[in-house]
Amino acid sequence: MERMQFERIDNDGKKVMCETIATYHNDDDNKDYIIYTDNTFDENRKLRVYYALYKMVNNNIKIIEAKTNEEKKVGLELIKTIIEELKTNK
């Protein structure tokens, strides 16, 4: 699978190149979720992974931060599921 890359603006207003890990469409709320990384690592040398809602605009990914508890819950569950799948596929 080829991973899509996109730019997002960080908290300091700088452009950051990101790479998709997975996307998911939730039929229950008709929203699209994305898991992505900026390919940086935390102090424990673990890859930083983020999730958000997204939509495609002119063939580009537009990040929409998850705001409701339900949106956050779906995003966290998606991350957990993918991590478990990666562990079993090693």
Q: Rounded to an integer, what distance in angstroms lies between the CA atom of residue 24 and that of residue 38? A: 19
CB atoms within 10 A of CB 55: 12
In sequence order, what are the residues at sequence separation of 6 or more whose Cβ sits closer than 8 angstroms to the Cβ of residue 49?
21, 35, 36, 37, 79
Nearest to 34, CA basis, from 16, 48, 9, 54: 54
pLDDT tens, residue by residue, 10-31? 889 999 999 998 888 888 889 8
Q: Which helix (H) or strand (E) holds 24?
A: strand 15-26
Amino acid identity of residue 19, one-letter, is E
The label of the residue with tokens 């730019």 reads: 7
Name the domain count of the chain: 1
Q: What is the mean pLDDT of residues 40-48?
A: 94
Mean of pLDDT values over 57-66? 87
